[in-house]
Amino acid sequence: MPSPGASQGQADLLQTTPNEAAAAVALAEQPRTTAPEGRIRTGRLAGLSMWAAIWVLSWPILVESFLTSMVGLVDTTLSAGLSEAATDAIGAASYVQWFIQMIGMAVGVGATALVSRSIGRGRQAIADAVTAQALLLSVTASFVVGALLFFAAPAVATVLQMSEDASDAVVLYLRVTAFGVPLSGILVSGIACCRGAGDAKRPLLVMVAVNIVNIIVSWALSGVDLARATADGGRQVYMVNPFTFDLGILGVALGTVAAWFTGACLVCWWLWKGTPGVRLKPRRMKPNWITMSRVARVGLPNFFESSGMWLGNFMVLLIVGWMAAGQEGLLGAHIIAIRIEAFSFLPGFSMGMAAATLAGQYLGAGRADLAARAMVRCCAIATAIMGTMGILFIVIPKPIVGLLSQQATHLEYAPYMLMIAGCVQAPFAIGLVLRTAMRGAGDTKVVMLLTWFSTYAVRLPLAWFFSGVDIPLWNGMVIPNPGPDWGLVGVWVGLCSELIVRALLFGGRFVEGGWRRIRV
C-alpha cells in the first residue's frame, strides 16, 4: 500500500508487476538528455527537432486562437448590427466573461506545466492523473462562479453607469451565459491538457466546431442582417438573415452557450479516447487532493496574476464608462478596437503557447539551454509577424473597423485606437511570448508579480493621466486629473505605453534565468 503522502504516479508504480516497476524506475533515473539540435524523445512530439516542434505546435494554436477570438468577435459584430447600446452591453459582458474564464485558464496553466513536465520525463500515469484532476477542479470552481455571475449581473450595469437599454441587455446576456460557465471551464482546461501533451491539432478541431456552432446559432437566433460600412458613411447589407427568430441579444447569448457545450463535449470525448496523448480514466475522477494541490499550486499564481490584470483593465473600463456618460457608443468603440487588436497578438499567443509546451518538456528532460533557445526563436517569429500587422493598423485602420461595424461613433474613434496599437506590436510580441513561456516553465509567481507591477504602477496610472477624466467619489466630490484631456485616444496611449515596459520586465527575467530553476 502506498503511504498517505504518496503521489498518484507512485501509487501507479506500486500497482505494477516487479519487472514493470523496475523498468519504470530505470526510466525515471535515466539522465534527461536530448539531441544537440533539440530533438524531443518522448510524447507526441517525439523525434521532432526544435524548429519542427515549434511549427507543429504553433500553427494549430494560431488557427485555434483565431477561432477562439472569433467567438467574441461574432458576438460583438452581431450586437453592432442591433444598436450601439447592444454593442456597449456585449463590451461590458466580455470583460466579465474574461474574469469568469480565468478559473479554467488558471487550472489550465497548472495542467499544462505538470502534463508537459510529466511527458518530458516519460511519466504517462502522472500526466493522466493531472488531466482528470484538472477537469474536476475546473468544473467545481466554475459551478460556483457561474452562480455568482447570475446574481451579480445587475451590479455590473450599475457600476458602469450604462444606459437603460444597455443595462437590460448586459444583464440578460450575462445571466444566460452564466449557465454555460462550467462548460467553458471544461473546454479551457481540457484544451490545456492536450497542449501540455504536445497535441495542438485536436484543440484546433474543437475550436472549429465551437465557431461553426456559435456563428450559425447566434446569427440565426439574433435576427441580424450581415452588412458593412460604405465609403459615404452608409450601410450595405450583403446577406439577409433568412431566419425569423429575431431574439436579439438573447439569441447571441444562446449561441455562445451552445458553442461552449459543443466544445466541452468534444474535448471530453477525445480525452476519454486518449488520442491527445493523455487519457481521461474513470478511476482518476475520484478527487485526489495531492494532485489537485499540485495543479492549484502552479495555477493559483496565474489566477491571481490574471485577476490583478483583469481588475486593472476593469478600472480602465470604468474610466471609459465615466468618459462615455451621456455619449452612447464610446464604450463600444473601445471594445471594437480591442476585438480587432486581439487578432494582431494571436501569432504572439500561439508562439507563446508553443514556447510554454517546449519549455516544460525541455526542462523536464533536463535541458534548460534548449528551453531558452526555443523561447528566443518563438519571440523572433512573433515579433516579425505582429510587427507586420502593426503596419496595417497604421496604414488602413478605418477600412478595418468598417468590416465590423457601421455605427458612426465606432468609425470615428476606433481607427485612432488601432493606429496607436500598431506602433507597439513588436514589444507587445516579446512580452507576450516570454510571459506565456515562463508560465509553461512553472514560473507563475514571478510572472504574477511582474504583471501586477506593470498593470498598477504603469498601465492604470498612464491610462487615467492621459484620459483627462476626473474620478467621481461621493457627494459630488472628484479626484481631478492633472494630465492632458486626450479622451479615449489618451487611454490607448497609456495602455500601449505599458506594453513597452512589460517587454522590458519579462526580458529582464528571461536574461536573469530564475525561471530555469522552478520546481513544479
**3-state secondary structure string, 273-340?**
HCCCCCCCCHHHCCCCHHHHHHHHHHHHHHHHHHHHHHHHHHHHHHHHHHHCCCCCCHHHHHHHHHHH
Amino acid at 268: C
What pLDDT is recorded for position 12? Answer: 33
How many distinct structural domains can be found in the chain? 1
Residue 14 located in a structural domain: no
Our CA angle for 67, 72, 76, nearest 5°, is 130
Residue 87 located in a structural domain: yes
From the CB of residue 457, how many other CB atoms can be counted at a distance below 10 Å?
12
Residue 61 located in a structural domain: yes
Residue 128 located in a structural domain: yes
Residue 229 located in a structural domain: yes
Amino acid at 177: T
Alpha-carbon gap, residue 27 to 43, rounded angstroms: 14
Chain centroid to Cα 44, Å, comes to: 24
Greatest Cα-to-Cα distance within the chain, rounded to the nearest angstrom = 79
Residue 15 located in a structural domain: no
pTM beyond 0.85: the answer is no
436, three cell numbers: 506565456
488, three cell numbers: 479615449
What pLDDT is recorded for position 236? Answer: 64
From the CB of residue 26, how many other CB atoms can be counted at a distance below 10 Å?
9
Domain that includes residue 347, residue range: 47-517
Helix (H) / strand (E) containing 235: strand 235-239
433, three cell numbers: 511570448
Cβ atoms of 440 and 113 within 8 Å: the answer is yes
Amino acid at 142: S
DSSP assignment of 136-198: HHHHHHHHHHHHHHHHHHHHHHHHTT--HHHHHHHHHHHHHHHTTHHHHHHHHHHHHHHHHTT
Query: What is the three-class DSSP state of 407?
Result: coil
Among candidates 22, 55, 13, 31, which has minimal Cα distance to 374?
Answer: 55
Whole-angstrom CA distances from 481 to 192, 364, 463, 472, 473 are 43, 50, 11, 11, 13
Residue 433 located in a structural domain: yes
Q: Are strands 478-479 and 471-472 parallel, antiparallel or unpaired?
A: antiparallel
Among candidates 258, 221, 259, which has minimal Cα distance to 241?
Answer: 221
What pLDDT is recorded for position 381? Answer: 94
Alpha-carbon gap, residue 81 to 226, rounded angstroms: 8
Digitized pLDDT (tens) for each residue of the chain, 520 residues in all? 333 333 333 333 233 333 333 333 333 333 343 444 567 776 667 778 888 889 888 888 788 777 767 766 777 777 777 777 777 777 777 777 777 777 778 888 888 888 888 887 888 888 899 999 999 988 888 898 889 889 988 888 787 777 788 888 888 989 999 999 999 989 989 998 988 888 878 888 898 898 889 888 988 898 877 665 555 555 666 677 788 788 888 988 999 899 999 999 999 999 998 888 888 888 888 888 888 888 888 888 878 887 888 788 888 888 887 886 656 678 778 888 988 888 888 889 889 989 988 888 888 888 899 999 999 999 999 999 999 999 999 999 999 988 877 778 888 889 999 999 999 999 999 999 999 999 888 888 899 999 999 999 999 999 999 999 888 887 778 889 999 989 899 999 999 999 999 999 999 999 999 999 887 6
Alpha-carbon gap, residue 72 to 94, rounded angstroms: 8
Among candidates 222, 227, 273, which has minimal Cα distance to 249?
Answer: 222
What pLDDT is recorded for position 3? Answer: 33
Alpha-carbon gap, residue 140 to 181, rounded angstroms: 11
What pLDDT is recorded for position 326? Answer: 55
